[in-house]
Amino acid sequence: MKQYRPNVERQKWLYSMMKSRALMRRRQGKPEGNTAVAEGRKQIPDNSEPWLPGGVRSVADALWISDRIKEDMERWKLPPPPTD
């Protein structure tokens, strides 16, 4: 199986393509970044929000989160994850 190994020439080519694409978009009057955000499309929400404001600061906080997860798994009837 052939592995992907970027070399300097490929990196130069990719950089050149990125720059030429950005220049063409500027000449056409289009935004440079993600156009989905510019058009107001709904984005997939980020799942990195903290469970508790200020983060977990104690064992009690961690146990509270664990209990909420167990309750949700029971409510959704999900099998428990395998333990090592």
Amino acid 15: pLDDT: 92
Q: H or E element: which one contains 28? A: helix 8-28
What pLDDT, on a 0 to 100 scale, did the predictor assign at position 69? 85
Q: What is the pLDDT of residues 12-71, one digit of tens each?
A: 999 999 999 989 988 988 777 666 565 666 666 666 666 667 777 889 888 988 898 888
Q: Is the pTM of this model over 0.85?
A: no
Q: Look at residues 48, 50, 25, 47 and name the one whose alpha carbon lies nearest to residue 38.
A: 25
Say whether pLDDT at 10 is over 80.
yes
Give the whole-angstrom CA distance, residue 56 versus residue 64: 10
Other Cβ atoms less than 10 A from the Cβ of 57: the count is 9
